[in-house]
Structure 1
Amino acid sequence: MRILDMTQPIELSHIYTDVNILEKLTALRRRTIDELLSECGYDDFDRFGLGKVVEKRIFGTQAVEKYKKLIVLGKPGAGKTTFLRYLAIQCNQGSFLSNLVPIFIPLKYFAEDPNRPILLEYISQQYSGCDVTEDELTELLKRGSALILFDGLDEVSTEYQEYTLKEVRSFSRIYFDNHFVIACRIAAWEYTFDKFTEVEIADFDDKQIHEFANNWFKNKDIKSDEFIRRLKQNNRVYQLAVTPLLLTLLCLVYEESGSLPHNRSESYHEGLDVLLKKWDAKRGINRDPIYEKLSLKRKKDLLRQIAYSSFEEEKYFFTILEIKSIINNFISKIINQDDDSNISQEEIEKLLKSMESQHGIIIERAKGIFSFSHLTFHEYFVAKRIVSLIPQKEEDCNPSVSKDNQNSQRIKELRKLTEHLTNYKWREIFLLVSEILLDTSELFKLMQEKIANILDSKEHLQEYVRSANKSSQAMLGLFVMNSNLENKKFQAAVRAFFFDIDYDIDSERKLCFVLEPRTKYLTCGNCFTRIFKDVNTLEEGVILAQQYDNMITDSNLKIINAKSTDQIMRIAVNYGIQTKKLIKSNKNELEEIKNNFFEEDNFEEDKLKYGANEVRKIASKKLLSHQLLGISFKDFSKEDQEILKSYYYANNLLIDCLLQTDCVTSSQLRNEIFDTLFIQ
Structure 2
Amino acid sequence: MLSPELISNLLFLALSHAWDNQAWKKVDTSVRQIFYEASQQYREAFEARHGNIRILTMNHPLRCEDLYIPLQFHIAGDEQDCSTLAGMERLTKAPLWGSLPNYLPTCSVEDWQCVNRHPFLIIIGPPGSGKTLFLRRVGLEALRPQEISRYEHRKIPVYLDLNKYNISELSIVEAIANEFEICRLPDSQRFSLSSLESGDLLILLDGIDDLADQDTAIRVHEIQDLVDRYPKNRYVLSRKRTSKTSYLSRFVNAWIQEFNTLQIHQFCRTWFAHIPDGKSAMPAKDWETLIETLGDICQHPLLLTLICLLQQHHEAPIQRHIFLYESALKTLLETWPKEKRGIRYTEPWQSLYRRQQVLAEVASIGFQENRTLFLEREIIQIAIQTLNNSQEEVSPQNALQILNSFVYDSGLLSCYVDGNYGFRFARIREYLTAYQLTTKTAQVDSLVQKRLLDYKWQQIFIFASGLDRTDTILKTLWRYTNELSHIPNLTYLLDWSSQVVDRRETTKSHDLRRAIAIFTVLEVCSIYGDDSHYQNALFSCSKRLRDVLYQLNQTTKMIYILDPKLLRSVHIEVLLDISLNLITRLQTSKLFSTETRLKKLARKITQLKNHIGQRELNAHQRKICISYVYSMWLTALQLDPEQILKVWQGLEALRDYLLAYSLLLRCREAAPAVSPELWMHIQNGLWKGGESAPIAYLERDN
> Closer, same or farther in 2 for the Cα pair 1:275/1:342, shift >3 Å?
closer
Give me the whole-angstrom Cα distance separating, in 2, the residues matched to 1:518 and 1:633: 32
**Alpha-carbon deviations, 1:501-555, whole Å to 9, x = none?**
4543253722212212342246499999976838626341356799xxxxxxxxx
**Corresponding residue for residue 436 of structure 1:** 467
**Alpha-carbon deviations, 1:238-257, whole Å to 9, x = none?**
32111011111111222122
Cα deviation for residue 190 of structure 1 reads 6.8
Q: How does 1:335-354 map to 2 (within 5 A)?
A: 343=396, 351-354=402-405
Cα deviation for residue 494 of structure 1 reads 3.1
State TM-score, norm by structure 1.
0.72
**Corresponding residue for residue 64 of structure 1:** 115
* Structure 1, 78-87 or 119-128: larger mean CA deviation: 119-128
From 505, 514, 517, the counterpart of 2:554? 517
Report the AA paired with residue 18 of structure 1: P
**Corresponding residue for residue 102 of structure 1:** 157
Instruction: Extract unaligned runs of 5+ from structure 1.
Output: 41-49, 391-409, 547-582, 587-618
Do residues 7 (structure 1) and 38 (structure 2) align?
A: no
**Corresponding residue for residue 44 of structure 2:** none
Residues 465 and 499, structure 1, Cα contact 8 Å, conserved in 2: no
Cα deviation for residue 216 of structure 1 reads 1.8
Residues 155 and 285, structure 1, Cα contact 8 Å, conserved in 2: no
> Closer, same or farther in 2 for the Cα pair 1:318/1:495, shift >3 Å?
farther
1:150 partner SS: strand
**Alpha-carbon deviations, 1:341-394, whole Å to 9, x = none?**
8636xx76565333211111111255223221111111111111111123xxxx
Report the AA paired with residue 356 of structure 2: K
> Closer, same or farther in 2 for the Cα pair 1:677/1:413, shift >3 Å?
closer
**Corresponding residue for residue 245 of structure 1:** 302
> Closer, same or farther in 2 for the Cα pair 1:77/1:17, shift >3 Å?
same
Do residues 209 (structure 1) and 264 (structure 2) align?
A: yes
**Corresponding residue for residue 425 of structure 1:** 456
1:507 partner SS: helix
Residues 77 and 243, structure 1, Cα contact 8 Å, conserved in 2: yes
> Closer, same or farther in 2 for the Cα pair 1:381/1:165, shift >3 Å?
same
Cα deviation for residue 88 of structure 1 reads 0.8
Residues 130 and 302, structure 2, Cα contact 8 Å, conserved in 1: yes
Instruction: Extract unaligned runs of 5+ from structure 2.
Output: 1-52, 95-99, 527-538, 568-572, 591-612, 617-625, 690-702
From 166, 171, 175, the counterpart of 1:122? 175
Residues 110 and 122, structure 1, Cα contact 8 Å, conserved in 2: yes
Report the AA paired with residue 263 of structure 2: Q
**Corresponding residue for residue 22 of structure 2:** none
Across the two proteins, how many residue pairs are aligned to each other?
555
Give me the whole-angstrom Cα distance separating, in 1, the residues matched to 2:283 and 2:245: 40
1:149 partner SS: strand
**Corresponding residue for residue 287 of structure 2:** 228
2:123 partner SS: strand
**Corresponding residue for residue 374 of structure 2:** 318
State the structure with more CA Rg.
2
Residues 489 and 646, structure 2, Cα contact 8 Å, conserved in 1: no
Give me the whole-angstrom Cα distance separating, in 2, the residues matched to 1:233 and 1:336: 39
Q: How does 1:93-242 map to 2 (within 5 A)?
A: 93-94=144-145, 95=149, 96-111=151-166, 116-128=169-181, 129-133=183-187, 134-158=189-213, 160-186=215-241, 192-218=247-273, 222=281, 225-234=284-293, 237-242=294-299
Do residues 356 (structure 1) and 387 (structure 2) align?
A: no
**Corresponding residue for residue 450 of structure 1:** 480
> Closer, same or farther in 2 for the Cα pair 1:184/1:302, shift >3 Å?
same
Cα deviation for residue 228 of structure 1 reads 3.0
Give me the whole-angstrom Cα distance separating, in 2, the residues matched to 1:649 and 1:172: 61
Cα deviation for residue 139 of structure 1 reads 2.0
> Closer, same or farther in 2 for the Cα pair 1:98/1:436, shift >3 Å?
same
1:148 partner SS: strand
Residues 448 and 477, structure 2, Cα contact 8 Å, conserved in 1: no
Cα deviation for residue 287 of structure 1 reads 8.2
State TM-score, norm by structure 2.
0.70
Residues 448 and 476, structure 2, Cα contact 8 Å, conserved in 1: no
**Alpha-carbon deviations, 1:10-38, whole Å to 9, x = none?**
1122221111111139xx99x99xx99xx
Residues 349 and 355, structure 2, Cα contact 8 Å, conserved in 1: no
Cα deviation for residue 643 of structure 1 reads 2.2
**Alpha-carbon deviations, 1:234-287, whole Å to 9, x = none?**
1xx132111011111111222122333322222111001110011121235338
Cα deviation for residue 116 of structure 1 reads 0.6
Residues 72 and 111, structure 2, Cα contact 8 Å, conserved in 1: yes
1:78 partner SS: coil
Report the AA paired with residue 447 of structure 1: L
* Structure 1, 509-518 or 220-229: larger mean CA deviation: 220-229
Residues 80 and 183, structure 1, Cα contact 8 Å, conserved in 2: yes
> Closer, same or farther in 2 for the Cα pair 1:275/1:363, shift >3 Å?
same
1:443 partner SS: helix
Residues 337 and 410, structure 2, Cα contact 8 Å, conserved in 1: no
1:533 partner SS: helix
Cα deviation for residue 672 of structure 1 reads 2.1
Give me the whole-angstrom Cα distance separating, in 1, the residues matched to 2:243 and 2:357: 23
Q: How does 1:604-615 map to 2 (within 5 A)?
A: none
> Closer, same or farther in 2 for the Cα pair 1:315/1:306, shift >3 Å?
same
2:509 partner SS: helix
Aligned residues with identical type, % of pairs:
20
Residues 124 and 239, structure 2, Cα contact 8 Å, conserved in 1: yes
Cα deviation for residue 70 of structure 1 reads 1.0
**Alpha-carbon deviations, 1:616-663, whole Å to 9, x = none?**
xxx9xx97985745569995699832222111100111111112x133
Cα deviation for residue 676 of structure 1 reads 2.3
Give me the whole-angstrom Cα distance separating, in 2, the residues matched to 1:319 and 1:585: 71
Report the AA paired with residue 536 of structure 1: L
Give me the whole-angstrom Cα distance separating, in 1, the residues matched to 2:579 and 2:357: 61
Residues 213 and 251, structure 1, Cα contact 8 Å, conserved in 2: yes
Give me the whole-angstrom Cα distance separating, in 2, the residues matched to 1:6 and 1:271: 15
Give me the whole-angstrom Cα distance separating, in 2, the residues matched to 1:430 and 1:170: 55
Cα deviation for residue 496 of structure 1 reads 5.9
2:152 partner SS: coil
**Corresponding residue for residue 648 of structure 1:** 658
Residues 422 and 650, structure 1, Cα contact 8 Å, conserved in 2: yes
Residues 550 and 559, structure 2, Cα contact 8 Å, conserved in 1: no
Give me the whole-angstrom Cα distance separating, in 2, the residues matched to 1:633 and 1:222: 53
**Alpha-carbon deviations, 1:373-417, whole Å to 9, x = none?**
111111111111111123xxxxxxxxxxxxxxxxxxx5x644443
**Corresponding residue for residue 22 of structure 1:** 74
2:237 partner SS: strand
**Corresponding residue for residue 676 of structure 1:** 685
Residues 280 and 314, structure 2, Cα contact 8 Å, conserved in 1: no
Give me the whole-angstrom Cα distance separating, in 2, the residues matched to 1:188 and 1:640: 59
> Closer, same or farther in 2 for the Cα pair 1:245/1:625, shift >3 Å?
farther
* Structure 1, 125-134 or 487-496: larger mean CA deviation: 487-496
2:62 partner SS: coil
Q: How does 1:621-636 map to 2 (within 5 A)?
A: 628=637, 629=639
Report the AA paired with residue 337 of structure 2: D
Do residues 296 (structure 1) and 346 (structure 2) align?
A: no
Give me the whole-angstrom Cα distance separating, in 1, the residues matched to 2:243 and 2:383: 19
Do residues 657 (structure 1) and 694 (structure 2) align?
A: no
